[in-house]
Structure 1
Amino acid sequence: MCGIAGLYYPAIAKPVDPARIVQMRDALAHRGPDGAGVWTAPGVGLGHRRLSIIDLEGGVQPMATPDQSVVVTYNGEIYNFREVRAELELKGARFHTESDTEVLLHGWRAWGPAMLEKLNGMFAFALYDAEKQCLFLARDRFGVKPLVYTKLADGGVAFASEIKGLLAHPLFRRRPDFRAVEDYMGLGYVPDDASLLVGVKKLPAGHYLLLQRGKRMPQPVRWWDVDFSNRATGKIRDLEAELIDRMRAAVRARMIADVPLGAFLSGGVDSSAVVALMAEASKTAVKTCTIGFDEADHDETNHAALIAERFATAHSARRVSADDFALIDTLVTAFDEPFADASALPTYRVCELARETVTVALSGDGADEAFAGYRRYKFFAAEERMRGLLPEKFRANLFGTLGRLYPKADWAPRAFRAKTTLLALAENGEFAYPKAVGVTAPELRDRLYTGAARHTLAGHTAEQRYVDAMRRAPARDGLDRAQYADIQHWLPGDILTKVDRTSMAVSLEAREPLLDYKLVEFAATLPPALRIKAGQGKWLMKKALEPYLPKEILYRPKMGFVTPISAWFRGALADEAAALARSRVLAGTGWFEPAAIEKLAAEHKAGRAEHGRTLWQLMMLERSLEKLFG
């Protein structure tokens, strides 16, 4: 795992000052504390910060072919690099290191952009071909590793693993984009097709960008997509066996490392499954780590301890206060853009704990999206069945009227909070699901914004990208479309961004075996009834894991990695919430109505409404704006 940065001049081969590359590169020092490199030639410069994982001596970057005609700077791991290397050697390639990086150099020469289809891993890299005078930027299928880029005033294209690498270039001009604020307020993160900084682009997951000297800036090209339109057939026990085989192969491939390796263990199904399969493959005790909370409602350490004992792991656990909001400024620095998923706090803490004993940690991320594990999928699938039974116009009139009449009862038990469900049933699925995924509803955002801010948006909404993704999804039903949209947006924008930034902030490499693309492609073929059955999400996955994990782990209610932010804003952070209405930073933008924010904080503190997540969003936005723009 590493940090990459660089410059490329597509019009003419201007000289590149190595000091500029060093400046950008070293803004990412936390991503690679073990080494640093820089390479320049007319019109191009590549920088690299290294976290040594494989071939500790030979994997120095930027790495070039012996004749210096192809050079690469790369962040990530290619888990099948030995198989790809063997194929290249049959074609006559001669390797000089044991590093997976060198596969990219020879792979480019042999196959060009088509080499990406042969790679199984997480990666973002920039490769320069001197003969073709081109720069090739590529990102892995799911967007595990980040890559941002921008066009500078002098015609150069700057790129980096994180936005802070771009900010280190003196020609980069910082201007905020309110459309990205709308996206953030709606979704809780700035998605990969947006940026808080005008001019910054994020290379989308499963895409590449080929820049060629003398040609105009092209659009990114999609090289991979997940397909939900096919259905697996066969007996359930055969599908279970295939699922376990694919999971086992994915875990074992990610256990290759020349440094200490372990796993995050929350006590949930996904991380427990990863630990079980690691223990099966390991000759020594697997190192596991868990973060617990001092509030029982948020603590899973007992479940994690049960798995640690079952598989005889070398287990570390640390309990932290649920009021661990002292990390806020650390997270603001790590994420660059505002990020409102409060589970980033415990994720940072578990990465910090893991880094004390290992350099690589396997996580259980990705299974919820691939196998339909989130509770919202179960609700959405039920809603879709209801939509299918009633004519659209009748449904809109009936449920729309009931939803408008039903009182909004944030304070009530979940079973009595029917307003949202009624309004969702009145809409088609592609309009209803994005609101279920979102944080602050469109109506509340509208009340918070000034008239000038609404005018700036010109109809742009955070939810529209979800609508578009669900409509174009290669899918058969609503559940397919919802999962597809989450894999396109929620997964890279929230889940993988959270894990990448928190792990890299402490120089830890996180690997996600349950996001092996062959495993996810298999999951996408499962009939909906094998994803959600009898009220259970991830049904086939849980069934297949019964020989490995106790039922009290497999079938207990999903807790998630949560933090009690609503309680914070009625207690220790109540004054912070009230102060948002008087914030110099927020007021200076002209985007928000102070009176609306003040009312929000007062309603939440008094318990008349539930606005904890929106207040958290506003606080994280304020701090990010202050960090970026002063």
Structure 2
Amino acid sequence: MCGILSVFGPDSSAQFDLSSMLSTIVHRGPDDKGILQGDNWMLGHQRLAIMDVDGGHQPMQTAEEKLYSICNGEIYNFRDLQDSHCPSYPFQTQADSEVLLPLFQTFGNDLIQQLDGMFSFVVSDGQQWLAGRDRMGIKPLYYATAGEHKFFASEVKALVHCAEHIQEVPSSHFYHSQAGLVPYYNLPDVTVFQKDQEAIQVALRQTLSRSVQKRLMSDVPVGVFLSGGLDSSIIAALMKQHVSELHSFSVGLPNSPDLKAARLVADHVGTIHHEYVYSEAEMQAVLADVIYYLESYDPALVRSAIPCYIVSKLASQYVKVVLSGEGADELFAGYSYLADYDDPRALHQESISILEGLHNLNLQRVDRMTMAHSLEGRVPFLDIDFIELCLQIDPHLKLFSTFGIEKWLLRKTFEDLLPHEIVWREKMEFAQGCASSEVLEKHAKAVITEQALVEAKIQGFPVNTQEELFYYGIFHQHFPHPDAAKVMGRWEGTLH
């Protein structure tokens, strides 16, 4: 995991201090810093060393120094790509991201179609450039303009003081210097669904197991976030089949139901378990930092980001990479409001809709909160093969009314790996399980009066509640740029 930053345009190196801009995202990669530049371009990289720890310095370049690249994330199929498409290329490192260079030489813009992973990258020959983002938008990428200059960066905070306009590169898009913004992938439009429950369960088991194995790719220790809920517990159980000494991490307020459930899973699976009990005062103390790193003031996102921030800090003391259970609720209709759906096709369409919105909501939270502590987060449920498999399942098998419980199919598929009370535990949102939701809302209402909210709305502030106004005040201090609030994701009320 890393932070990337690039500038293209006349006399870029003379007009912009790339080193200073990079310093705003040093948390994404404190292990190493690299800058390459020409008269009209600059590439900068903050590295968190995961693959080829000693040799994987970035920016990377071809031996003849005519092609350059920076990358954030992991390309899981890089070895297969090297063997199939680049057998004669003189690789200089064992890092996964170096494969971008020969792939660009062979495929041009279409190189992105070859990649299996979570990534954002920029490849350039100094004249033209290609910037791309993974299919689900697991890794962030923003672009911005200032006069004749174009910027690309991992986080908004690297751009707010130099750019006139800031926009997000959407998930499954690339941006080319001549072609502009181009989509390259869409979730499948399924018309015939799979109905054989037994065959579906076998496929789910095999595909998720492969996804987890793929995400164990690392030259540094890998752990797991373990909330005690179904999703993270499944990931922990599958990881333990391949990692003999697996570290798991859980946090919560005193008497949090998640802490107790996580201990039960850790004992059952056999992880080296770590937990941290935080106080309400600690939540309030870290709130401003959370909003700064999160780059959002959306209440639902901020609430869930607090425990994610704290558990990331805990995990960073033991490992550099963690897997989490993000994505299962979207794929298996786990959110409470989805229990009201009685039309299978409507449920399927809603699933697609919330999957497409994940990149700047829950995935933004996972990325920013882990990166705040120089930790890499990976999300096995959002493997493209697994997503496409799940979208082929008859949505009738995901309806709450079909089985009287959400995510029945997922529970049934993996019930042999976990304690009965975990498999059939009632679904809780992350912030609820950590007992943080009510604390934050109460704190906000103590600070922001109802009259202040009325006045803020009259002035045109983009807020709806006292809690949101409280977070917005902190956000605006960090990100006064008018585009900062426009590029952030917002829950539309359904998941509050």
User: TM-score normalised to the size of structure 2?
Assistant: 0.90
Distance 1:575 1:232, change over 3 A: closer
Confirm whether residue 146 of structure 1 aligns to residue 140 of structure 2. yes
1:628 to 460, 476, 479: 479
Does the 8 Å CA contact 1:2/1:32 hold for their aligned counterparts?
yes
1:503 to 354, 370, 384: 370
State the distance in 1 between where 2:209 and 2:372 align.
Answer: 29
> In structure 1, what is the Cα distance between the partners aligned to 2:12 and 2:350?
48
Shift of 1:42: 2.5
CA contact (8 A) 2:250 2:311 kept: yes
Q: Is the 8 A contact 1:542 1:554 kept in 2?
A: yes
Q: How many residues align?
A: 473
1:531 shift after superposition: 2.2
Deviation at 1:258, TM superposition (A): 0.9
Cα 1:569–1:113 shift into 2, 3 Å: closer
Counterpart-to-counterpart distance in 2, 1:5 and 1:99: 19
Normalising by structure 1, what TM-score? 0.71
- State how far apart, in whole Å, the 2-side matches of 1:583 and 1:485 are: 32
Q: Does 1:538 align with 2:377?
A: no
Would the aligned equivalents of 1:370 and 1:483 in 2 still touch at CA under 8 Å? Answer: yes
Structure 2 stretches lacking a partner, 5+ long: 482-496
Q: Are 1:35 and 2:28 counterparts?
A: no
- Deviation digits for residues 553-575 of structure 1, max 9, x if unmatched? 122210121154445555x5543
Change (3 A) 1:202 1:582: closer
1:309 aligns with 2:275: no
> Which digits, 9 at most, give the CA deviation of each residue in 1:103-141, with x for residues without a partner?
1111111112222222111101111034xx211010001
| TM-superposed deviation, 1:219 | 4.3
**What residue in structure 2 maps to residue 292 of structure 1?**
252
Alignment-derived partner of residue 112 in structure 1: 108
Q: Which moved more, 1:45-54 or 1:325-334?
A: 325-334
Distance in 2, matches of 1:89 and 1:560, equals 45
Distance 1:80 1:230, change over 3 A: farther
Return 5+ residue gaps in structure 1 as ranges.
174-198, 213-217, 386-476, 598-612
CA contact (8 A) 2:174 2:182 kept: yes
3-state DSSP of counterpart to 1:17: helix
**Closer, same or farther: CA 506–543 of 1 in aligned 2, 3 Å:** same
| 2:291 is aligned with 1:332 | yes
Note the 1:45-124 alignment, pairs <5 A. Answer: 45-90=42-87, 92-124=88-120
1:590 aligns with 2:441: no
Alignment counterpart, residue 355 of structure 1, candidates 301, 304, 316: 316
Alignment root-mean-square deviation, CA: 2.3
Residue deviations 1:228-263 (CA, integer Å, cap 9, x gap): 424343632222111111111100111111111100
Q: Deviations over 1:26-57 (max 9, x none)?
A: 21111110000001113211000000000012
Q: Which residue of 1 aligns with 2:5?
A: 5
Whether the aligned pair in 1 keeps the contact of 2:280 and 2:439 (CA below 8 Å) is no
Identity of aligned residues (%): 31
Tell me if 1:364 matches 2:330: no
5 Å matches for 1:176-575? 199-212=165-178, 218-233=179-194, 235-282=196-243, 284-294=244-254, 296=255, 298-322=256-280, 324-340=283-299, 341=301, 342-379=303-340, 381-382=341-342, 384=343, 477-489=345-357, 491-532=358-399, 533-562=402-431, 563-566=435-438, 568-570=440-442, 572-575=443-446
Give 1:63 deviation, angstroms: 0.3
Matched, 1:127 2:123: yes
Q: Give the Cα–Cα distance (whole angstroms) in 1 for the partners of residues 279 and 392 of structure 2.
A: 42
How far did 1:591 drift? 1.3
Asked if 2 retains the 8 angstrom alpha-carbon contact of 1:231 and 1:526, the reply is no
* Shift in alpha-carbon separation, 1:168–1:577, aligned structure 2, 3 A: closer
Give the Cα–Cα distance (whole angstroms) in 2 for the partners of residues 583 and 232 of structure 1. 49
Tell me the distance in 2 between the aligned counterparts of 1:233 and 1:319.
44
Aligned residue among 571, 576, 579 for 2:447: 576
Native 8 Å contact 1:228 1:525 kept in 2? no
- In terms of Rg, which structure is larger? 1
For residue 490 of structure 2, what is the aligned residue in structure 1?
none
